[in-house]
């Protein structure tokens, strides 16, 4: 069944645009470039005419039960990291996995980390190569770069099934190269670079409806041997207006070596 949601696309400008995160030293304070609110049609992966696979679409949805019962504090990280490592090794054939970042997002105005409501992918080529060095050091990064490596995000609902602001994806096959723009990420202590997506009526949006805390989305955010990065964003939509649970999720960034 086709659904409709609203997303915020980026726009072409004659100059480099940027996000400023934790601006002014205030946690959660975000200064954003101009965005264009746009209604898009969605295909639900649960009933998609064409199956959604990591190899063809740079995203797939699967069940991954966890022994973690809460994502507060730090005690859960070693357990969850081991679960993610085993899953990526088994499902994608990764021979090494580095889990390096977890972000819990809550769709509440008072939350420090809210769902990202701009259509983007997490790394540009330069941003990914710099992050590889940041994580591994120059010598080890050089070794990894001679082979096949990728940055992969694993996203999961927390506490409740997702009823509002689900995560949506644009099939890479529907994206023109000219739809992408470079965006700087300015942090108080460092600078990064991501890719923003400009609107195009050809974009083919997919999501998985009512994802539960036992389900994950696995998606590619950079691959040095050609698998496309996938554009994604929180979707402004509600599945069931009689349900009032707030969207809460955890995304885990990983570096894999094939």
Report the CATH number that the domain containing residue 60 is assigned in CATH: 2.60.120
Tell the burial category of 38 from Cβ atoms under 10 Å away from its Cβ (0-12, 13-18, 19+).
middle
> Strands 248-257 and 215-223: what pairing?
unpaired
User: What whole-number distance in Å separates Cα of residue 197 and Cα of residue 12?
Assistant: 9
pLDDT value at residue 1: 65
Query: Which residues are CB-contacts of 224 (< 8 A; sequence separation ≥ 6)?
Result: 128, 145, 148, 149, 150
CA atoms within a 13 Å half-sphere pointing along the CA-CB vector of 238: 8
Q: What three-state secondary structure class fits 83?
A: helix
Query: Any idea which residue has 């030293």 for tokens?
Result: 25
- Look up the domain containing 94 and give its range: 2-257
Query: pLDDT means per 10 residues in the chain (258 residues)?
Result: 92 92 78 94 89 96 96 95 98 97 95 94 93 97 98 98 98 97 88 92 97 98 96 97 96 98
Total structural domains within the chain: 1
pLDDT value at residue 189: 81
* Cβ neighbours around 152 below 10 Å, total: 25
pLDDT value at residue 79: 98
């Amino acid at each position: 069944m086709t659904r409709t949601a609203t997303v915020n696309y980026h726009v072409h400008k004659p100059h480099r645009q940027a996000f400023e995160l934790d601006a002014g030293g205030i946690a959660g304070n975000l200064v954003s470039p101009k965005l264009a609110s746009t209604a898009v049609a969605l295909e639900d992966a649960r009933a998609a005419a064409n199956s959604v696979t990591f190899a063809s679409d740079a995203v797939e949805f699967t069940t991954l039960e966890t022994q973690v019962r809460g994502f507060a504090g730090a005690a859960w990280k070693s357990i969850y990291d081991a679960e993610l490592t085993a899953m990526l090794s088994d499902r994608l054939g990764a021979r090494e996995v580095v889990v390096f970042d977890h972000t819990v997002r809550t769709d509440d105005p008072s939350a420090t980390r809210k769902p990202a409501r701009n259509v983007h992918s997490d790394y540009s080529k330069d941003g990914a190569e710099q992050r590889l060095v940041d994580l591994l050091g120059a010598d080890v990064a050089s070794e990894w770069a001679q082979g096949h490596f990728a940055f992969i995000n694993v996203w999961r609902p927390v506490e409740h099934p997702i009823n509002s602001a689900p995560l949506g994806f644009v099939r890479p096959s529907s994206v023109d190269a000219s739809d992408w723009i470079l965006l700087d990420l300015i942090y108080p202590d460092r600078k990064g670079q991501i890719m923003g997506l400009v609107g195009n009526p050809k974009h083919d949006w997919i999501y998985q409806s009512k994802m539960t805390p036992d389900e994950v989305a696995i998606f590619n955010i950079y691959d040095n041997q050609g698998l496309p990065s996938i554009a994604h964003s929180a979707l402004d939509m509600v599945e069931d207006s009689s349900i009032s649970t707030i969207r809460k999720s955890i995304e885990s960034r990983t570096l894999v070596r094939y």
